[in-house]
Chains A and B, each alone.
Chain A
Amino acid sequence: MESSVFHCEKLSKSYQSLWAVSDLNLKVLKGQVFGLLGPNGSGKTTTLAMALGVLKPTSGYYSWFASGNAPALRKRIGSLLESPRFYPWLNAVQNLQITATIRGVAFSDIDRVLKKTGLYERRKSRYESFSLGMKQRLAIASCLLGDPEVLVLDEPTNGIDAEGIAEIRDIILEQRKAKKTILLASHILDEVEKVCTHVAVLKKGKLLQMGSIEEVLGHNIWFELKSAHKAELLAALKSFHRLKEIVDEGEFIKVVPENSLGGDELNRYLFDKNIILSELRSRQQSLEQHFLEVLRQ
């Protein structure tokens, strides 16, 4: 059985009459890279703030490692919530020593995480002298201290340049490869699509959709077909009962298949009907397109 790393039931947070998060049910299993998506004000950060013990839920329950929500459990989690928070007058090493002390991590691990995040050369520089990107990197370094089982990253690429974003993506992918669990909130959907295995879409504090990337986007696959014998192709397609939609787009014919139908099966069917395709393109809605569609609904 896959073990639960985080789950919440009917988790809610209200500010007077405004419900920032409402009856949220989530379950994150070990090894998942779970993306929390939503526009500004959708409740992503509020959810993470409750999960990380800095915001009291109005109602509902959450649990880490199926063991409740005791503060000591958070020592097994590397977390970056909203923005980096360090002492400006301390240098990178001194700031990480504080995090290491709280999390019970040996100081010897500090050099490793500083090298991983490209801050080793600046380890003796004061935090106040860091650029926004370097501050963000230090926060990522702090998350990686002690090689925790779980990473919670809220907008980890904030303020980071394109090269830095790619590096952080590599770090996340490396953690994913190492079967670490990651809970990632981001509005950069392209990033989420590249690294996440599962996503949940929030809007105004409510869960709109949740599942694996394949499940979420799998319903939105279509094919674009081209043949020298377009009329025969159209007729053959119309007689195929496993297609949900056929649209003549001029040069191509767009067909939306049932979930179980693959491109190879479609091609074989048409070949049996003596239709040779000159092109068969498989198309899938991007996470961004899907996200916008879900939000519109």
Chain B
Amino acid sequence: MMTLLKLEWLRLRGFRFFWIFLIGYFLCLLMVLWVSSSILVELMSGVSLPGLSGFNFSQTLSMIFYFSGFFEPFLALILIMMISNDSSLGTLKQHVIDGLSLEQVVLGRLIQVLFLVVISFVMIMGLSFLFAGRVSGQEMEWPSYLQVSGFLMRSLGFLSVGVLLATLIQRSIPTVFAYFGIRYILEPVVAFSLSFYFKMEVHGYLPLGVFASLIQSPKDILNLGITLSDKGSSAQLPESLSFLIAGLYFIFIWGAMYALLKNRRFR
């Protein structure tokens, strides 16, 4: 395990785009927090709004958890490029020749995903601490385990989809198109079509929809007392079911990746 961790770090540390996209992700989070906190500071000056009175660490965290979803493609791009490069440069083949098993290859990719999720989580925690202090003088309210596990599961899911597509397509640019296409066009269109023509509310069951539903939207965050199961896109799904479906998708994605690699002729 430590060998794989070391290996992934050696591969990532010299990859220019890893640093560029990571910095880009951080700056986007920073920007969102700065803008949103500035708006809130403005709104809260001399006004008492029921939904805003408790904008503390927990709420800041929830807010940034939600918005970070828009910037996670930065992290997915790192993985997509790394995996596509491994295929096009033949370095994956060389690693297998040098003695890496397919299980280790898959585990190495999972480590990359976990590594980025952890970095993202640490960034968000740090920024939330910073900005919650800016807008709240109240006592610290810690985030619930559901908030945190929802964020972690969503990030793992979104990034895993990118990894699977990169493994399948093996070329970075087509993979990027496929990733964004599925996330922003295909899945919403499928969900809308089924809802419109067949009255089937499936968005909460589709992979990216399920992963997205694990995080509260800002509207829910500002209405204290609303639980996960009450919110927008996954309104029909209880939180436990959302987590269960997300978990099943996660297992399926990594199982599919192993099967793909097992039957692949390495270039």
List the interface of chain A (C-beta within 8 A of B): 52-56, 70-75, 77, 79, 81, 83, 85-91, 94, 97-99, 101-104
Contact = CB atoms under 8 A, between A and B. Distances in A.
19 contacts: A52-B96, A54-B96, A54-B265, A71-B96, A74-B97, A75-B99, A81-B94, A83-B90, A86-B91, A87-B11, A87-B14, A87-B85, A87-B89, A90-B14, A94-B14, A98-B10, A98-B11, A101-B10, A102-B3
A20 B3 CA distance: 36
A88 B265 CA distance: 23
Interface in B87-138: 89-91, 93-102, 104
Given A54-B93, A87-B85, A71 B10 contact: no
B7 A101 contact: yes
* Those 4 A-B pairs whose CB atoms lie nearest each other, nearest first: A75-B99, A71-B101, A85-B90, A85-B94
A102 B95 contact: yes
Nearest to A73: B99
Contacts of B7: 98, 101-102
Interface of B: 3, 6-7, 10-11, 14-16, 85, 89-91, 93-102, 104, 263, 265-266
Given A55-B265, A94-B10, A85 B93 contact: yes
B15 A74 contact: no
Given A55-B265, A101-B3, A101-B6, A74 B14 contact: no
**Most B C-beta atoms less than 10 A away, residue of A53, A56, A86, A90:** A53
Nearest to B7: A101
A121 B89 CA distance: 25
Nearest to B5: A101
A89 B16 contact: yes
B267 to A, nearest CB: 9
Contacts of A102: 3, 7, 95, 98-100
B89 A79 contact: no
A143 to B, nearest CB: 10
B30 to A, nearest CB: 27
Contacts, number: 77
Given A85-B89, A87-B91, A88-B89, A103 B10 contact: no
Contacts of A88: 89
A103 B99 CA distance: 7
Contacts of A75: 98-99
A66 to B, nearest CB: 18
B249 to A, nearest CB: 28
B137 to A, nearest CB: 48
A56 B262 CA distance: 9
A76 B198 CA distance: 60
Contacts of B90: 83, 85
Given A85-B89, A87-B85, A87-B89, A52 B97 contact: yes
A41 B101 CA distance: 28
Contacts of A52: 96-97
A147 B15 CA distance: 29
Contacts of B93: 54, 81, 85
B266 A54 contact: yes
A108 B11 CA distance: 19
**Most A C-beta atoms less than 10 A away, residue of B3, B91, B96, B98:** B98
Contact of B98 (A79, A87, A91): A79
A72 B266 contact: no
A98 B96 CA distance: 12
Contact of B100 (A71, A83, A90): A71
B266 A55 contact: yes
Contacts of A71: 96, 99-102, 104
B97 A104 contact: no
A139 to B, nearest CB: 9
Nearest to B95: A102
B98 A103 contact: yes
Contacts of B10: 94, 97-98, 101
Contacts of B97: 52-54, 74, 79, 81
A256 to B, nearest CB: 45
A104 B97 CA distance: 14
B15 A89 contact: yes
Contacts of A77: 99
A155 to B, nearest CB: 15
